[in-house]
Amino acid sequence: MSTLDELIRDDLSASADSVEVTDDQLGHVVHRYTRRLRAVRRQRRMRAVVAAAAAVVVLGAGAVALQQLLATVDSLPPSRTVEPTTLPVTFANLHGVWVDSASGWLLSFGSDGRLDVVNPGDPSTFDEENTTTITIGPTGITLPDHWCDLDLEPRQGGTMQSTLVREPVPWGGPTSGLCRDLTGHHTLSRLTPAVPGTEADTRSAPEPATGTQQVTSRVQIRGAWRLQASGGLLLIMWDADDANYHYALSGGGQDLTFVDGGTVSMVDDHLVFASEGPDVYCEVGSQTRLAAARVWSTEGDQPFSQALTSRTTRLACGLHSALSDVWLRVS
């Protein structure tokens, strides 16, 4: 046995041995246990009595209430809001892409437990270090050790509460590998539709748009966008080095890896996307033109505040067909 093993064993034993249990304390504990069981039994009996009484009342009043309900339900306005009922943590309920409304980070949950966490404004986060696999057990989700603890609470209506309980100590220091306590609450909003047929699938009607604006300047489209149908991620960034706007486009679906990029320019009220750089999907120099680009502002409970629509007048390659899709602003 190594010195380290002996130290761990001795320290844990010493720590544990400091906890003493006297006969009096044990007697008190058993007494607490007995009282607790009696209380549970009392509660059960009380619930049974209340349930029986309620059943009688409900049966009597049910017929009257049903008649009243049927008489008034037709006059009620249709409700678009969905009660934020908590859903069980299952792969099906988590499946899809979510955005943290405060930071703009994206979380993409696969049906097999794969989790990608990326910052749309920082392409360096699009690597394997930000991909992991979660497991779901009786106590919630479990992340690999080096990710420490995270709680998730999906709700109906396309939102989810995430709570970071402990975060890893950054690498490089003497305590790297340990977790430090941290409590951070974040509200996530669903960007992609829930899996049809699951509890998360509420299929609520979209909020109506409250205003539109013609795109006349690239600054209007600067930021991160989710392409609604393909699920692709589109980043439009200002590069101070060459004083130009650039774009990066992911392949779509759950895969958030950028596969194409280049410059964005504005020519005769057309948005022009030109592929540039090494390892781009479309042919270098090929251009896709979008006309009639309009930004739609929305209000209400939608997870996005803006959407963009346009019409393709020239297509550079198949991947760019996603650009004529509806864009949902992520950040």
Partner 1 sequence: MNAWSEEAVAVPTGGPEADWLPFSIVPTVGESPREEIISALFRSEYAGLLRLAYCITGDRCSAEDVVMEAYCSLHVHWPLMRRSSAPLPYLRSAVILGSRSVIRQAVRSRHWHPRSEVARPDPSSEDAIADTEAGTLAGAVRALPHRQCEVIVCRYYLELSEAETAELLHLSVGAVKQHAHRARQTLSRWLEVER
- 182 touches partner 1 by CB under 8 A: yes
Taking CB under 8 A as the binding criterion, the range among 34-42, 84-92, 100-108, 256-264 that sits at the site for partner 1 is: 34-42
Residue 38 or 80: the one with the smaller Cβ distance to partner 1 is 38
- 48 touches partner 1 by CB under 8 A: no
Residue 133 or 176: the one with the smaller Cβ distance to partner 1 is 176
- 169 touches partner 1 by CB under 8 A: yes
Q: How far is CA 192 from CA 41, 70, 92, 209, 303, in A?
A: 47, 36, 13, 19, 10
Taking CB under 8 A as the binding criterion, the range among 10-18, 91-99, 289-297, 315-323 that sits at the site for partner 1 is: 10-18
- Closest of 149, 139, 154 to residue 94, by C-alpha: 154
Handedness of CA 112, 115, 120, 124 (dihedral sign): negative
- 294 touches partner 1 by CB under 8 A: no
> Rounded to the nearest whole angstrom, what is the least distance from the CB of residue 166 to partner 1 in the complex?
6
Handedness of CA 226, 125, 264, 213 (dihedral sign): positive
Alpha carbon distance 49, 277 (integer Å): 74
Among residues 5, 74, 128, 242, the one that binds partner 1 under rule CB under 8 A: 5
- 16 touches partner 1 by CB under 8 A: yes
Among residues 30, 54, 219, 284, the one that binds partner 1 under rule CB under 8 A: 30
Alpha carbon distance 171, 232 (integer Å): 32
- 18 touches partner 1 by CB under 8 A: yes
Among residues 24, 175, 241, 243, the one that binds partner 1 under rule CB under 8 A: 175
Residue 61 or 178: the one with the smaller Cβ distance to partner 1 is 178
> Rounded to the nearest whole angstrom, what is the least distance from the CB of residue 127 to partner 1 in the complex?
21
Contact indicator for 82, 205 with CB cutoff of 8 Å: no
Contact indicator for 294, 215 with CB cutoff of 8 Å: yes
- 269 touches partner 1 by CB under 8 A: no
Q: How far is CA 239 from CA 86, 169, 259, 263, in A?
A: 42, 32, 19, 10
Among residues 127, 180, 219, 297, the one that binds partner 1 under rule CB under 8 A: 180
Residue 19 or 57: the one with the smaller Cβ distance to partner 1 is 19
- 163 touches partner 1 by CB under 8 A: yes
| DSSP letter (8 states) at residue 85 | -
Taking CB under 8 A as the binding criterion, the range among 17-25, 109-117, 193-201, 214-222 that sits at the site for partner 1 is: 17-25
- 181 touches partner 1 by CB under 8 A: yes
- 14 touches partner 1 by CB under 8 A: yes
Contact indicator for 303, 99 with CB cutoff of 8 Å: yes
Q: What angle do CA 207, 209, 215 make, to 5 degrees?
A: 140
Q: What angle do CA 118, 122, 123 make, to 5 degrees?
A: 80
Cα Rg of the chain, angstroms: 28
- 178 touches partner 1 by CB under 8 A: yes
Pairing of strands 223-227, 209-214: unpaired
Q: H helices within 18-150, ranges in order?
A: 23-72, 91-94
- Written as six digits, the tokens of 187 are 């509200």
- 153 touches partner 1 by CB under 8 A: no
- 21 touches partner 1 by CB under 8 A: yes
- 29 touches partner 1 by CB under 8 A: yes
Alpha carbon distance 198, 93 (integer Å): 7
Q: Which residues contact partner 1 by CB under 8 A?
A: 4-5, 7-9, 11-21, 26, 29-30, 32-33, 36-37, 40, 138-139, 142, 145-146, 148-149, 151, 163, 165-166, 169, 173-183
